[in-house]
Chains A and B, each alone.
Chain A
């Protein structure tokens, strides 16, 4: 989960009259986990579905609601003008069809705000923007460009000076030689043309979704901003813009509208979404008995608007709260506004009788018998390595099931057998005293569609006098006493076991596993200096359905 660093003194200025302690105690009830708290600085984790919480402005809005200082939805006050026009050319339709934007004037920009805006931008790119694929954002110094702008396309030979660089590069050079180009260039595919925003003097303003131009770089001297969002979904682009607009207004900017003209594009409306909800559903889900007015107050504390209309509550949701899909989201908003700490847990008697799964019960019985015979239970990973499963035990790896791109070399292959891991366990315990006796029950995997998952049971014994007879006696008695099963052994061979001391295990003529003395080669591979005997059987279809 992403983390944001907040300053108590800044928060206090933004929220109004609250103590540091009140803030600390309330942050978790907005869904913000405190990671560290050190004098004026507090670091909190926020959910990726709430990008507004990656700035202190957004968190201040939330806390104002909880404290009851300011409640209800945040209204965007947008001055309507025709001064800022963006024309959309049809050529963008096939590559990145939508653009939207807004002007924010007369703000004060300090290093803190620049830092927060950059964090917000990154967050939006990663979340709703799906790594800039769905939508991406650019923030510019308004006074460095002249309107109207054109959202158009250009060839890959087009040149301009990108943000943070001092010389002109072609589009191709940007895509090949810069980090952002390499990371996001694939969004544009192999298309000959790429999206571009030009101003009225034909200056390049932005090359979405990759990089802005250097001309419009925002600095602490910037007073007026232009924010543009481009994307492949109009709704997502407007949602993204509304988060930035809300944050900028909270940060003291005056919002002025931009007018979007062109194919399929329209100016953003930032309309409130309306959802009607009944108090019965809320009380049923929460187990509460809240009145309509309590519910309305709670929704307002969660910075939404709500009014009673007949028996239902009509809730108005500002467009930056695109995390709200439907009714259950509103139930949560009521719970948060009311305060999770105000819900007393209750334990109603269960209407059902509980039961363990028969597989769990049988595995437990088997374990207890093995313990009685002096075997200790081991626990190994299902996901292990080719080395352990095949190389060390001389087994064929032709049917192995591997996972893609594992971050751990030791965890790349799904086990088809437990015994190799038990041998690996012995090899890591050669300094512990003998005899060493281990067993494990667990799932093993084999190819099929879907993948076959069956339960296996393996045991291993290692000491100076370990013998075939000993291990056969163990298995025979375990199955007899535990499950009244008789087994037979028939001469067999296996790459892990010693020739002439290996047998298949049969039950009613059907092979259910392998038993024997582990061969010298395997033991030497593992540098074990004591004889080892072992077995492995399938429990599925034998004692487990």
Chain B
């Protein structure tokens, strides 16, 4: 199957086959096409690597008004010297004789020590046989010549003088065919075929947000691992975000500089009387301070989704459950390439048969396997509300190092007992942006929330 060409392309190829190297102007004549058609045709052929365009530029010089005058009548200084050849002359006489060129002529003659002056008279001292610039002036005047074959020093003598030399830059284009093009057979029959090999414009695919894709993928994995999704509020009384999770009221994590408190919002109903009583007692006994209910009522933007799962447990007293919560959490931090004030977290719990540390590790390992991470290990760590506590370290080939991902542990009895939860509860969770960054190869987490259309439109969906 032969390639399909536009009529313009056909005409240009045919013309170049007959006469292998032509300027666009020549092509216009040989093809009877307009300059614009020739320009487009050449562009197309160039893209298909069928035409070669050699661009060159040359400079020609010619004489300007003063240059021409000097060519016909001699350089001003030559004319001055000629007038002095036989006798010295008065200033005024020479001025009348030479007019406007008197000044420049005098300047050059004096500088070269060809003349001498007394009070009002000028004498000849030397009569040079050749004055710089005369040779060039003659060459140019007799014929247009290329700049680069001229005696440069001689040209320089008159180049800077006003209106002596004019420079013209001429751009040349020569079009020829590539070897492949030379062997192309041009058929003159017209056809319906179009160029199916040519490039076409991109269209933009409407799409779900890449971070949402990761969130959905993670949700799907935990659902298939037997977990049920629950949703909770983003605004929470400190009671559920901190107190219920054994974080004492004077703990640094509760300070304004780490947590967002809502201005002037104190939650009226924070829990049952029994919950409040037992939690405050646990704090007083274990942390030795006077627990204050007003502190527990202060509304915060949740710093983790654990407040949602613990509340669910306290309200439902489950014996057998796998539950997770997925959503936005907040930290009062400076925004940077690795920190956001608001990000997504997943948090899950397991209650019941087999709720033990090795199973917790097993669930994590299975989760990582399903998102394509197989090199993992577990290290001990510390969280205020779980004991024992572990963190997963995953190996990232691209970065060549171990990265900390989800944290996990068993809820402390100081957390579960006051809420009437009698069975051991496994808990795990972590940030989703971190996983999405690894997935999409981003090194700036802010990209997820920039809504930059160029990025959204061009990021590969499945990676």
Chain A contact residues, CB within 8 Å of chain B: 28-31, 33, 47-50, 126, 130-131, 133-134, 233, 235-236, 284-288, 325-329, 331-332, 335-336, 340-341, 343-348, 350-357, 359-360, 364, 367-368, 370-383, 401-408, 410-411, 414, 425, 428-429, 432-433, 436-438, 443, 445, 449-451, 453
Asked whether any CB of chain A lies closer than 8 Å to the CB of B272, the reply is no
Residues 20-35 of chain B, each 1 if its beta carbon lies under 8 Å from chain A, else 0: 0000000000000000
By the criterion CB–CB under 8 Å, are A351 and B352 in contact? yes
Asked whether any CB of chain A lies closer than 8 Å to the CB of B137, the reply is no
Of the candidates B219, B267, B301, B363, the one whose C-beta lies within 8 Å of that of A360 is B219
Of the candidates A341, A343, A378, A403, the one whose C-beta lies within 8 Å of that of B262 is A403
Stretch from B100-108, B113-121, B143-151, B374-382 at the A interface: B374-382
How far is B269's CA from A346's CA once the two chains are assembled, in angstroms?
A: 41
Q: Within residues 310 to 326 of chain B, which ones have a CB less than 8 A from any CB in chain A?
A: 320-322, 326
Asked whether any CB of chain A lies closer than 8 Å to the CB of B289, the reply is yes
Min Cβ gap B298→A in Å is: 10
Name A334's closest neighbour in chain B (CB-CB): B388
Residues 382-419 of chain B, each 1 if its beta carbon lies under 8 Å from chain A, else 0: 10000111100100000000001000001011100000
Name A407's closest neighbour in chain B (CB-CB): B334
Name A327's closest neighbour in chain B (CB-CB): B413
Contacts of A450 in B (CB 8 A): 233, 235, 237, 267-269, 299
By the criterion CB–CB under 8 Å, are A326 and B322 in contact? no
Min Cβ gap A264→B in Å is: 15
By the criterion CB–CB under 8 Å, are A451 and B225 in contact? no
By the criterion CB–CB under 8 Å, are A354 and B413 in contact? no
Of the candidates B207, B257, B265, B380, the one whose C-beta lies within 8 Å of that of A340 is B380
Of the candidates A134, A351, A401, the one whose C-beta lies within 8 Å of that of B320 is A351
How far is B253's CA from A130's CA once the two chains are assembled, in angstroms?
A: 11
By the criterion CB–CB under 8 Å, are B362 and A432 in contact? no
Contacts of B212 in A (CB 8 A): 367, 377, 379
Contacts of B352 in A (CB 8 A): 351-352
By the criterion CB–CB under 8 Å, are B414 and A325 in contact? yes
Asked whether any CB of chain A lies closer than 8 Å to the CB of B238, the reply is no
By the criterion CB–CB under 8 Å, are B382 and A404 in contact? no
By the criterion CB–CB under 8 Å, are A325 and B365 in contact? no
Min Cβ gap A363→B in Å is: 9
Contacts of B208 in A (CB 8 A): 367-368, 371, 377
Name B379's closest neighbour in chain A (CB-CB): A28
Of the candidates A285, A351, A451, the one whose C-beta lies within 8 Å of that of B299 is A451
Residues 248-276 of chain B, each 1 if its beta carbon lies under 8 Å from chain A, else 0: 00101000110011110101110000000
Contacts of A433 in B (CB 8 A): 204
Min Cβ gap B5→A in Å is: 30
Of the candidates B222, B289, B389, B450, the one whose C-beta lies within 8 Å of that of A354 is B222
Q: Within residues 99 to 136 of chain B, which ones have a CB less than 8 A from any CB in chain A?
A: none
**Also in contact, A286 and B219, with CB within 8 A (given A383-B330, A404-B263):** no
By the criterion CB–CB under 8 Å, are A379 and B414 in contact? no
Contacts of B424 in A (CB 8 A): 284-285
By the criterion CB–CB under 8 Å, are B227 and A354 in contact? yes
Name A239's closest neighbour in chain B (CB-CB): B288
How far is B452's CA from A172's CA once the two chains are assembled, in angstroms?
A: 56
Min Cβ gap A100→B in Å is: 15
By the criterion CB–CB under 8 Å, are B382 and A331 in contact? no
Q: Which 10 A-B pairs have the closest CB atoms?
A: A350-B226, A287-B356, A47-B382, A287-B358, A332-B388, A345-B361, A347-B362, A354-B223, A357-B229, A432-B453
By the criterion CB–CB under 8 Å, are B332 and A406 in contact? yes
By the criterion CB–CB under 8 Å, are B322 and A354 in contact? yes
Asked whether any CB of chain A lies closer than 8 Å to the CB of B328, the reply is yes
Asked whether any CB of chain A lies closer than 8 Å to the CB of B57, the reply is no
- Apart from A351-B353, A376-B206, A407-B333, what are 4 other A-B pairs with CB-CB below 8 Å? A28-B379, A284-B356, A352-B321, A355-B228
Contacts of A288 in B (CB 8 A): 356, 358
By the criterion CB–CB under 8 Å, are B335 and A411 in contact? yes
How many residues of B sit at the interface, in one of the four size bands?
A: 35 or more
Q: Within residues 207 to 237 of chain B, which ones have a CB less than 8 A from any CB in chain A?
A: 207-209, 211-212, 216, 219-220, 222-231, 233-235, 237
By the criterion CB–CB under 8 Å, are A345 and B235 in contact? no
**Also in contact, A354 and B228, with CB within 8 A (given A428-B452, A453-B235):** yes
Name B356's closest neighbour in chain A (CB-CB): A287
Contacts of A445 in B (CB 8 A): 234-235
Of the candidates A284, A359, A380, the one whose C-beta lies within 8 Å of that of B451 is A380
Asked whether any CB of chain A lies closer than 8 Å to the CB of B341, the reply is yes
Asked whether any CB of chain A lies closer than 8 Å to the CB of B286, the reply is yes
Of the candidates B234, B333, B378, B380, the one whose C-beta lies within 8 Å of that of A30 is B380
By the criterion CB–CB under 8 Å, are A375 and B380 in contact? no
Of the candidates A50, A126, A345, A374, the one whose C-beta lies within 8 Å of that of B358 is A345
16 contacts between A and B (CB under 8 A): A233-B289, A287-B356, A336-B380, A347-B365, A352-B352, A353-B226, A353-B228, A357-B229, A376-B453, A377-B207, A402-B262, A404-B262, A407-B334, A443-B234, A449-B268, A450-B269
Contacts of B453 in A (CB 8 A): 376, 429, 432, 436
Asked whether any CB of chain A lies closer than 8 Å to the CB of B454, the reply is yes
Contacts of A341 in B (CB 8 A): 377-378
By the criterion CB–CB under 8 Å, are A364 and B216 in contact? yes
By the criterion CB–CB under 8 Å, are A403 and B301 in contact? yes
Residues 404-443 of chain B, each 1 if its beta carbon lies under 8 Å from chain A, else 0: 1000001011100000000010000000000000000000
How far is B231's CA from A443's CA once the two chains are assembled, in angstroms?
A: 12
Min Cβ gap A140→B in Å is: 27
Contacts of B211 in A (CB 8 A): 379
**Also in contact, A402 and B263, with CB within 8 A (given A352-B226, A376-B206, A377-B209):** yes
How far is B378's CA from A336's CA once the two chains are assembled, in angstroms?
A: 12
How far is B299's CA from A343's CA once the two chains are assembled, in angstroms?
A: 40
Asked whether any CB of chain A lies closer than 8 Å to the CB of B306, the reply is no
How far is B451's CA from A450's CA once the two chains are assembled, in angstroms?
A: 31
Contacts of B204 in A (CB 8 A): 376, 433
Contacts of B363 in A (CB 8 A): 347
By the criterion CB–CB under 8 Å, are B288 and A235 in contact? yes
Min Cβ gap B258→A in Å is: 10
Most buried by B among A287, A331, A403, A406: A403
Contacts of A356 in B (CB 8 A): 219-220, 223, 229
Name A234's closest neighbour in chain B (CB-CB): B288
By the criterion CB–CB under 8 Å, are A451 and B359 in contact? no
By the criterion CB–CB under 8 Å, are A428 and B388 in contact? no
By the criterion CB–CB under 8 Å, are A411 and B341 in contact? yes
Most buried by B among A131, A331, A356, A378: A356
By the criterion CB–CB under 8 Å, are B225 and A354 in contact? yes
How far is B225's CA from A37's CA once the two chains are assembled, in angstroms?
A: 38
How far is B152's CA from A482's CA once the two chains are assembled, in angstroms?
A: 82
Asked whether any CB of chain A lies closer than 8 Å to the CB of B342, the reply is yes
By the criterion CB–CB under 8 Å, are A379 and B448 in contact? yes
Asked whether any CB of chain A lies closer than 8 Å to the CB of B364, the reply is yes
**Also in contact, A329 and B387, with CB within 8 A (given A367-B212, A371-B207, A379-B211):** yes
By the criterion CB–CB under 8 Å, are A438 and B451 in contact? yes
Asked whether any CB of chain A lies closer than 8 Å to the CB of B173, the reply is no
Asked whether any CB of chain A lies closer than 8 Å to the CB of B244, the reply is no
How far is B326's CA from A284's CA once the two chains are assembled, in angstroms?
A: 28
Contacts of B65 in A (CB 8 A): none
Of the candidates A327, A375, A381, the one whose C-beta lies within 8 Å of that of B449 is A381
